[in-house]
Chain A
Amino acid sequence: MLTLDEVNAKYFDVLKELGNIGAGNATTAIANMLNLRIDMKVPTVAFLPVEELGTAIGAEDDIIVGIMLGVEMDIEGSMMFLLDMNSAHKIVNRLMMRDESYAEPFDEMDLSAIKEVGNIIAGSYLSALSSMTNLAISPTVPFVAVDMAAAILSVPAVQFGVFGDHALMIETKFSDDLGISGHFILMPEEGSYEKILASLGLSI
């Protein structure tokens, strides 16, 4: 059996394509939710040593928003959607119909709006994955954290670190009037990659 690192390396293009389609679907969902026209740039996919995850989207001590959900049913694992503070504020302000420049710390209502964003994004991402693979995939309730990038990214780093030394990360940049960008990290359990690839007719 291949290690997770070997699977990632061998099927990089396939996983990248899955990521693209998932992220594309998720972008449409955000656009609908915010009632904006959003063009998604081709996402970049990085295959990073876990030790570098902490600095993958900016400085280690930049404060970011992380939304984490479990993934259940045919495949298991978790996924994370990351937003820089600027993007998070823009989305929340839009949803709360506030002035664009409002940047006070998030309150409970704001955090639940962010969770809902995470729900919608993850749901659409996973439903794309599900319809491509014919696997039943469902997200759990989302959890949100606002903290230093390195602390939030230590969660996927640990998750990947158990099985290998590398993590697969998809950066999605949206070009729109708001200038929002986000990152996805899909963290499958060992064995789930095989199921995904097998469902596409690829054997490991």
Chain B
Amino acid sequence: MSQMIKVGMADLNICKAPDALTTIGLGSCIGIALYDPTTKISGLAHIMLPDSTQIRNNSNGAKFADTGIQMLLDDMIKAGANKSKIVAKIAGGAKMFEMSGGSASTINVGQRNAEASKQKLKELGIKLLAEDTGLNYGRTVELYSETGEYHIKSVGKDLKIL
């Protein structure tokens, strides 16, 4: 029996085949899925903010794109994944409310989360295979370690498979 492992907000986790990882209701946050097709070791991080260096309160590395992706990668390598084979898919980064104001640190945070995630992946030399980011609705994501498929579910929309 395969298990569906839940990843909370500002959290990350890895799994091996045949298990899957899910995070429910991504808003402006990003679900970063890393996958090594050779070992089927999979990882999912649910980050909230783009940059840990811009925030005083940064003790939880899983909260940020820069530190979260690094931690997820480290965990996967420790579990036996081949760094050179790991590929990425990302989803989320919506703008839930069309507010123009808000604090400087959270303006367009969804878009900035997506950009920071892509930047970090590039820095680490991880290829981004697909993304489903932006727009104005929430996304529930599921990463299946058997196939590397990344399923995206939204309210009133068809299932999207990356």
Contact = CB atoms under 8 A, between A and B. Distances in A.
Chain A interface mostly:
mixed
Contact of B140 (A61, A144, A157, A164): A61
A185 to B, nearest CB: 13
B91 to A, nearest CB: 12
Interface size of B as a range? 20 to 34
Interface residues of A, number: 39
B37 interface: no
Interface string B1-37: 0000000111100000000000011111100000000
Given A3-B57, A165-B57, A154 B98 contact: no
A93 interface: no
A161 B48 CA distance: 8
B63 A154 contact: no
Interface centre among B11, B29, B49, B136 (most CB of A within 10 A): B29
B103 interface: yes
Interface centre among B26, B28, B60, B106 (most CB of A within 10 A): B106
Given A152-B138, A154-B9, A78 B49 contact: no
Contacts of A95: none
Interface string A136-148: 0000100111111
A51 B25 CA distance: 13
A54 interface: yes
A68 B101 CA distance: 11
